Amino acid sequence: MSQEKLSALLAIIVPAVLQQLMEKRSIGSKEAADVLYNSSLYEMLENEESKLWHLSAETLYSLLEQELNCGVIQYPEEL
């Protein structure tokens, strides 16, 4: 997949994950963006080879919660 296509997918996925983060953690958009963009999950999401862009926003949010709560992420085996 080209970087252009990946960027287009991220433009759809990221706002949905940010919305969940704001709602479930009762935080503002700036704080939510800081949390997501500084996470290991986001670093992996930007890597096309990780195939994380296949996952739903809900699944990505649950992976982010794992990272925030436990410091590690257990990625689904189906990737």
How would you label 53-79 residue by residue, b for 16+ Cβ within 10 Å and e otherwise?
Answer: bebebeebbebbbebeeeeebeeeeee
The three-state secondary structure class of 78 is coil
38-42, 53-57, 70-74, range with greatest mean pLDDT: 38-42
Query: Percent of the chain beyond pLDDT 90?
Result: 75
**Segment 21-42, tens digit of pLDDT:** 999 999 999 999 999 999 999 9
- Does this model's pTM top 0.85? My answer is yes
Interatomic CA distance for residues 52 and 13, integer angstroms: 10
Domain ranges of the chain: 3-69
